[in-house]
Chain A
Amino acid sequence: MHGKFLKPFAGLVAGLVAVLAGCATLPDVAPYRDATVQLRSAVLASGNAVGAELRNATLAVEEKDRANLEKSAKTFSENWQVRVESADALVVYAQALAEITKAGKEGGDTARSLAAALEQLAGGVGIALPPAGAVATLTDTAAFVYAQVAAVKASRSLEDALVAAQPAVNEIAAKLGKDLDASLALVEAAYLLQRLALDDKYGQEKSFLKALERERRKLYGQGQLSREDEKRLKEIGELYDSSKSWREPMQAAFAQLEKRHEVEREVIVATKAAVAEWAAAHRGLAFAVRDRRTINVEGLIQATLEARELVRRLRAL
C-alpha cells in the first residue's frame, strides 16, 4: 500500500488502538434476523389459516348469508396481505442491521481490499511504491486500525438505527398483536359455524346415540337390574355396535374439524407470542449495543421455533 494512505494514521495508531480496543463490541444480529424471517412465515401462515377457515365457513352457512361471508373472507385476505408486506419490510430491516454488524466486523478486510485497489491504481499512474515488505506492514497496520474504526462506526450506526426504529417496532407489534387477537376470534367463529353445520348434518344420528346413552344410564341408575333390564342393555349395546358404519365417519368429521381448529388456534397464539418477543428482543438489542454487552435472543428464537413447528403441523394436516 502506498505510504500516503497511512500518513494520517501513523502517529495515531498506538493511541487509537488503546482508546478503541474493547469499546466496540458488536452483538451478533444474525439470530435476530433469522428469527424475523421465521416471524414473517408465522404471520403469513396465521393469515392463510384464517382465510382458509373463513372460506370453509362459507360452505357451512345458509345461501342467504353466503355472499356476505365470502366478501368478508376476501376482504380479510386482501387486508392480511398488507401484514405480510409489513413483515417483509421487517425482514429487510433486520437484514440491514445484520449488514451493519457484518461491515463492522470485517473492517480489516475492507481496509485490505481498498489498499489493494489503490495499489492497482498507483501502478496504473506510475507511482513508485515502497518495497513489498514495507507495503505489507503498512497495509496490516492500516487494516488493524480500520478494523477498530469500523467496529466503532458500526456500533454507533447500529445504536442509531435501533433507537430510531424502536417507536415503529412498538407500534407495529401492538397493531399485529391486535390483528392476531381479531384473527383468533375469526378462526373461532369460523370453527363454530362449521361445528354447527356438522351438528345439523348429523342431528338425527347424534340424537339416536344420545337416546341410547340416556336409556343405558337410566337403567344403570335404578340400582338392581332385572332380567328385562339386562336384555335391554344387551340390545342397546348391539344397536350401538350396529351404528359403527355411520358413527365412525361422523366422529372422524368432528375430530378432523377439532384437530384443525386446535392447531390453527395454536399457530395464531404462537405468532402473537413471537411478535411480542420480537419487539422485546429489539429493545434488548438496543440496550446491548448501548451497554456494549452481548444480547440474549433465546426467548425470541424459542417463540419463533415453536411457531415454525406449529406451522409445519398445520401444513401436514
Chain B
Amino acid sequence: MQIKIHGSAAGGGFPQWNCACRNCREIGAGKLNSSPRTQCQVAVSSSHEEWFLRNASPALRMQIVGAAELDSRGHLRDLKAVSKRGVRHTPIVGVVLTGGDLDQVLGLLYLRELEPIHIDATASIRRLPREQNKFFNMLTEQPWQSVCTDFVPEKGSRS
C-alpha cells in the first residue's frame, strides 16, 4: 500500500490568504522552517498504476500536475505509451468521499474533463453537492463519465 499526502492544510491553505498570524507572517517572510501547504489531499494505491483519492481538495489540479504518479504526463512519457493508452489518460481511477464539505468536494470539478471516474460515497454525501450546486452536473455530462457507488458506513460509537 502506498500513501501520498499531496496537501495537509486546512480550508484556507497555508499561508491563508487573509491571515496574518505569526505562522502565516513568518512563512511569507521566509523566517519559518516550514513550507507552504495546499488543502488536505491524500492519495492511496496498491499498484502504483492506479490511485484512489481521499476526497477532492480545492487545490486538486495543482496537486495533480505537481505529482508524477498522478499526472498523465508521468504515465505517458513517450509515443509508445500514448499509442497504447491514448492521449487522454489518468492514473486516478476513483475518489472516495468521507464528507461533503467544500474542502472535500470542490476538487471534483477539476475532474470534469470527460474523464471516466469512480466516485464512492454515502448516498447523502453524494447527493449534497449536486443538489446544492448545478456545477456538479458537469460530472455527469455523459452517462459513462462518472460511476457513483453508494456505500453504507459501519456505525461508530457516536452515530
Whether A and B are associated in the same complex: the answer reads no
Residues of A whose CB lies within 8 Å of any CB of B are none
Residues of B whose CB lies within 8 Å of any CB of A are none
